[in-house]
Structure 1
Amino acid sequence: MNILQKKPRIKATLKYLVVLVLVLLVTIFQDFLNSRTNEYPFFASESVLINSFWVLILPVSFLLNWLFQKVSIHDKLPNLFLKRFIFVLVATLIHMLLFAGLLHLISASFYEHTIRFMQNLQFTISQDLYKYLLIYSVIALVLIKKKKHVKST
C-alpha cells in the first residue's frame, strides 16, 4: 500500500474521530443539562463511560460485515432485506453484550460503584434499543448493497 492509498484512510479515520468526539461532547453536555434540570449531581467520568457506547459502532459494524463476507452470508441469503435485517439484529445484540461487558469491567476496575452486566443490559434494552436499531439500520443500508448481476454476452 503506497502513501496515496493511505491518505484517504487517514482522512476517513480522522473524520470518524472528530465526529465521535463531537457526539460524545454533545451527549455529555446533555447529561450535564439533565442533571441540572432534575437536580442531581453530575459526574463527567461516569457520563463519558456510559456514553462510550458510540465508540463501538464502527468496529462492530466493520467486524460483522467482514464476518458476513467470510462466511458468505451475503451469498446464502438471496433477499437484500433479510441480509440487512439479520445484520441489524446481530450487530445490535453483539454491541449491547460487548458494551455491557466492557462497562462492567471498566467500572469494576476504576470506579467505587460497579455497574453490573445485567443491570446495564436491562437499561440498554429499555432505554437505548431504538438507538442501536436505528444506527445499525443506516449502517446496513450503506454496507450491504444489492449485488449487480453481470450479463454474459
Structure 2
Amino acid sequence: MLQSISRQQLITAAMVLIICLTVLQDFLEAGYHHFSFYLSESVLFKTYWLLFIPVCILLRKVFGSMKARSVFLTLPLFVLTAVPLHLLLYGWSVTSLSFLLLDHTYTVTDTVAYAIAADLYKYLFVYSIIGLAFFRKQAPQETAVPQVQAPLPVDNLCINTGKNNMVIATDSILLITAATPYITIHTADKKQLHTATLKSIMDKLDGHRFVRIHKSAIVNVSAVVSYTSRLNGDYDLRLTNGQEVRLSRNYVSGFRQHLDMRSSS
C-alpha cells in the first residue's frame, strides 16, 4: 500500500497536515488571548505551505541543468531565488482567493509584508534544507580512477625476415634506427630490417635501458662506451662495436638521466 504512494503525494499530505496543525495553533492562540477566530482566513494565510511544492519543482528544473561546482556557492543562489518567488506567488494567491471567497480582498503588498514580518525565517530555513539536500545529491561523486599497469618490457623481439622469423634478444640490441617504412635493428655483428615504428618498438622495450637519442634513433645505454661533444649541443656516442651515432641536443637531458640510473643500479 505504502509503496504505491509517490513521494510527491507524501510531501503534499505532509504539507496539508502542517496547515491543519498551524490552523489549530491559531485557534488555540485565539482562545488563549480571547480573540475572534476565523477559520477561512486562518486556512487562507496558511496556504503558503503548499507553495513549497510547485516552487521546488520549478527551481529543480532550473538548477538541475546547472553544474554546481560547490554546494556552498549554489545554495545561497537557490535560497535567494526561491524565497522572493514564493512570497510573490503567496501574495497573488491570497489576493486572488480572498477576492473569490471572502467579502474583502487582501492586497499583494500587504500579504507579502505580513509574510516577511511573520514567517521569513521559515522560508529561509525550509529552502536552505531543501537546497542542501538537492545539491548534495546532485554533486558528482568522486570515483577512483583505476590505475592501468604498463605492460612489462619484452626480453625478445620476433623479426620477420620473409619466409623465416628471427628471435633477437633485446639485451643484444645496440641501436635501433628509423628506415621508413621500416626500422633497422643493430646488434654487434649485423643489421636487421623490421616492420615497425620507433614509437611502437619503444613501447615494448625496457625504458630503463633503452632511450631515444634522436627523432630517428634509440640506443641501448648499456652499449654506450663514450660520448664526445660536437661543441654545438650535440654529441657523438661510441658503441661497444665501434659504431658512432649522433645524440641530438634535444635528447641530452634524458640520455644523461638514463646513464645516471644505470650507474647507480
TM-score (ref. length: structure 2): 0.50
Confirm whether residue 80 of structure 1 aligns to residue 81 of structure 2.
no
Letter in 2 for 1:81: F
Counterparts of 1:4-153 in structure 2, within 5 Å, are 10-70=5-65, 72=66, 75=67, 77-145=68-136, 146-150=139-143, 152-153=145-146
Q: Which has the higher strand share?
A: 2
4+ residue runs over 6 A deviation: none
Q: Distance in 2 between matches of 1:139 and 1:121?
A: 22
Q: What do the CA deviations read for 1:14-59 (whole angstroms, capped 9, x no partner)? A: 3223312221111010010111122221111111110011101122
Specify which structure has the higher proportion of helix: 1
Q: Residues 36, 139 of structure 1: CA spacing in aligned structure 2 closer, same or farther, 3 A cutoff?
A: same
Q: Indicate the RMSD between aligned Cα atoms, in angstroms.
A: 1.8
Q: Unmatched 5+ residue regions in structure 2?
A: 147-265
Q: Which amino acid aligns with 2:29?
A: N
Contact 2:12–2:50 under 8 Å retained in 1: no
Q: CA distance change for structure 1 residues 9 and 57 in 2, over 3 Å: closer, same or farther?
A: farther
What residue identity is the alignment partner of 1:57?
Answer: F
CA contact (8 A) 2:71 2:132 kept: no
Higher relative contact order (CA 8 A, sep 6+): 1
| SS of structure 2 residue aligned to 1:97 | helix
Greater Cα offset, 54-63 or 140-149: 140-149
Give the aligned length: 143
The superposition leaves residues 49-93 of structure 1 with CA deviations (integer Å, 9 ceiling, x where unpaired) of 1001110112211210111124x2xx2x52321211111111111
Q: CA deviation at 1:148?
A: 1.8
Unaligned runs of 5+ in 1: 1-6
Instruction: Compare CA radii of gyration and give the structure with the larger one.
Output: 2
State the alpha-carbon separation in 2 of the partners of residues 65 and 42 from structure 1. Answer: 37
